[in-house]
Amino acid sequence: MNLYSEKLHDRIYIICLTVFAIVLPLSNFITTVNLVLIVVNWIIGGSFRKKMKVLSERKGILIFLLLFVIHLIWLFNTNDFNYAFNDIKVKLPLFFLPLVVGTSVSLDFNDIRRVIYALTVGCIVASMVSIWYYTGLSGKVIYDTRDISVFMSHIRFSLIINFSFFALLYLALKKNTGLPQREKLFVIIAALWLFIFLFILKSFTGFFVLFFTGFMIILILTSKQKSRIIQLLLLLLLLAIPMIPGLYLKNRLDDFYETEITEDLSKLDSLTDEGNVYLREINPYRIENGHYVDIYLCEDEMRPAWNKRSKLDYDGKDLNSGDLKFTLIRYLTSLGLKKDGVSVRSLSEQDIKNVENGVANYKYPDPLSLNARVYQVIWQIDAYMRGGSPDGHSITQRLEYLKASRNIIYTNFWIGVGTGDLKIAFKTEYEKMGSSLKEKFRLRAHNQFVTFWIAFGLIGFLICIFALMAPVVTERKYKDYFFLVFIVIAILSMLNEDTLEGQAGVAFFSYLYSIFVFGKKDNHRL
């Protein structure tokens, strides 16, 4: 028996879905509370015979629930049940959201529009807080723009921003949406701000998702155009999308490698101007602006010279939490200077501040600039390719994660390691590999599809892929614009992150998947 009318129950459901969208970029806790309210409202609403009938007719919902159920089934292959039960708790939205959304009142265009606006409001509020930190108004000094995303991972935040941006574009540019011009103007302004903020956030994943999703949308539009002129213009735009970041990256690579290595390793000075011995061991793997990092090094002179110039200890950390002495060594190398007392004393006050702030190259004095971030990544990859350690470098660490993942899959090919033994499996494999990664950097695959295979083996991996894709066919959502944008973003995320292994990622995925596959009444095409 219903404790209130079905109409009131539906209204509460819509309100809760809208609030869920607002808080998704802002608070894991409030998101969880809101999910509980959605489920409680669904239970109190009753009408279970009707809901069971819907489930029997919509096989896609039951198929998708396999994505949650497989975590229960694969407990048979688990040793660490504490980890397993915590993982299952995190995955609960994968069960409840499709179940509730799929058996509740369908969402019309106005409902979807409100959800998109709510998500946008959440993103804008979160971005304003980020700007507050970025500008230093919070009193906290930020040395890495990725840290301005204070409510969730910068990668996850960039994904939600991307979805909101492309959803707003549809509302602004699509004909026959019925939106008044004033509302469209606000939509365009909001989309423009989210686009600008993505560049402030400087998430490489966010950039890649933006360009790739835009590329896919224009590709679809091009195939549908009948006008030769418009088709040609779209093709030119299609070419421009990869060319713009490609040319920018080429410019940064040319800048990185522009200086030829000038030191003649057979004719190195052995003594400093003060008569102390330079380090003679040559490491050809580390180069900064065309100069070897590990030659002409005399720390016995650098240490006292630095400690006289700065309050930060030579053997301590810089303000970006890096080892200060290594930042100083790289900075001096980037200037083409020897690493000795004379060179440290020759640094300007601005140079000293740069080193204190964690800047390792004089060409990029602003650690928050896009050029500096790109340089860091190029340097990481270059050092790794030359045999350097991936330790502490987000890009090259992923290569180590995938090496460990490959080995775990080889030894657990068919049925995996189980729901709860991922952590144990990686810990064992890193030790077996003799990985150079420090303990704190020995993380999991950072690829959701690989994680599926490790946990559930090939059999479970195929079940997961089936659970993800089959409902799209049964619900005929493969031509819906909002779903296509979402699934492209979600897949790109899963290739780069363990999207479904954390609370924010599970909430993001299960909420938008449920709404656009099981909740929407009509398809919205390009």
**Pair 123, 154: CB distance under 8 Å:** no
Residue 381 pLDDT: 83
Torsion of CA 253, 254, 258, 261, to 10 degrees: 40
Is pLDDT above 50 for 251?
yes
Does the pLDDT of residue 290 top 90, yes or no? no
Highest mean pLDDT (candidates 195-204, 279-288, 292-301, 450-459)? 450-459
Write down the pLDDT at residue 157: 93
What mean pLDDT comes out for the span 515-523? 85
pLDDT band at 139 (very low <50, low <70, confident <90, very high): confident
Please give the residue that has the higher pLDDT: either 75 or 264. 75
Distance CA 26, CA 502 (A): 15
Where do the structural domains in the chain lie, given as residue ranges?
6-249+439-519, 287-367
3-class secondary-structure state, position 40: helix
- Given this model, what pLDDT does residue 1 score? 45
Residue 65's pLDDT is what? 96
- For residue 159, the model assigns a pLDDT of 94
CA 334 to CA 288: how far, in whole Å?
5
To the nearest 10°, report the CA torsion of 137, 27, 501, 518.
-130
Half-sphere exposure of 37 (CA within 13 A, CB side): 18
Could you give phi then psi for residue 34, rounded to 5 degrees? -65, -35
Q: pLDDT-based confidence at 282, cuts 50/70/90?
A: low
Q: Tell me the pLDDT tens digit for each residue of 129-138.
A: 999 988 877 7
Torsion of CA 40, 45, 50, 53, to 10 degrees: -10
The one-character DSSP state at 76 is G
User: Do residues 109 and 515 lie in contact, with contact meaning Cβ atoms separated by under 8 Å?
Assistant: no
Predicted confidence (pLDDT) per residue in 79-99, tens digit: 999 999 999 999 999 999 999
The confidence band for 524, taking pLDDT boundaries of 50, 70 and 90, is low
Spatial CA neighbour of 200 closest among 355, 22, 366, 357? 366
The angle, 0 to 180 degrees and rounded to 10, between the axes of the packed helices 394-411 and 448-474 is 80
Strand partners, 520: 107
Across 159-168, 283-292, 324-333, 437-446, least confident range? 283-292
- CA atoms of 335 and 363, how far apart (whole Å): 9
Q: Kindly report the CA angle at 190 between 149 and 233, in degrees rounded to 5?
A: 110
State the average pLDDT over residues 313-338: 90
Residues 6 or more apart whose CB falls under 8 angstroms from that of 452 comprise 460, 461, 464, 465
Q: How confident is the model at residue 73 (pLDDT cuts 50, 70, 90)?
A: very high
CA nearest to 287, candidates 383, 394, 367, 360:
383
pTM of the model: 0.84
Strand partners of residue 271: 277
CA–CA gap between residue 141 and residue 162 (Å, rounded): 27
Average pLDDT across the chain, whole number:
87
pLDDT value, residue 258: 65
Cα distances (angstroms) measured from residue 461 to each of 338, 414, 416, 449: 54, 9, 9, 7
Secondary structure of 363-374 as H, E, C letters: CCCCCCCHHHHH
pLDDT band at 241 (very low <50, low <70, confident <90, very high): confident
Among the residue ranges 28-32, 120-124, 370-374, the one predicted with the least confidence is 370-374
pLDDT of residue 264: 66
DSSP state of 147: G
Q: Say what the pLDDT of residue 101 is.
A: 94
Given the structure tokens 């602006």, which residue do they identify?
Answer: 289
The pLDDT score that the predictor gives to residue 219 is 82
Which pairing describes strands 287-288 and 291-292: parallel, antiparallel, or unpaired? antiparallel
512's CB contacts (< 8 A; 6+ apart) are 163, 486, 490
Total length of the chain? 526
Q: Which helix (H) or strand (E) holds 291?
A: strand 291-292
Is residue 263 pLDDT above 80, yes or no?
no
Where helices occur in 175-323 by DSSP H, the ranges are 181-201, 204-224, 228-257, 299-309
Report how far residue 229's alpha carbon sits from residue 422's, in angstroms, rounded to the nearest whole number: 54
Average the pLDDT over each of 182-186, 314-318, 388-392, 501-505 and give the range with the smallest value.
Answer: 388-392
Please name the amino acid found at residue 3.
Answer: L
Token readout for 394 is: 């987000």
User: Quick one: CA torsion of 465, 470, 473, 477, rounded to 10 degrees?
Assistant: -70
Mean pLDDT, range 183-188, rounded to an integer: 92
β-sheet bridge partners, residue 107: 520
Residue 361's pLDDT is: 86
Long-range contacts of 372-381 (CB under 8 A, 24+ apart): 373/145, 373/202, 373/204, 374/249, 374/252, 375/252, 375/256, 377/204, 378/252, 378/253, 378/256, 379/256, 379/288
The more confidently predicted of residues 522 and 335 is 335
Query: What is the per-residue pLDDT for 284?
Result: 60
**% of the chain surpassing 90 pLDDT:** 51
DSSP class of residue 287 equals E
Q: What is the dihedral of CA 338, 341, 343, 348, to 10 degrees?
A: 150
Distance CA 270, CA 469 (A): 65
* Better pLDDT: 142 or 303: 303
Q: What is the mean pLDDT of residues 309-333?
A: 90
pLDDT at 142 > cutoff 90: no
Position 143 scores a pLDDT of 67
pLDDT of amino acid 365: 72
The CA-to-CA distance between both ends of the chain, in Å, stands at: 43
Half-sphere exposure of 198 (CA within 13 A, CB side): 23
**Residue 174 C-alpha from the chain's centroid:** 29
Which three-class secondary structure state does DSSP give residue 314? coil
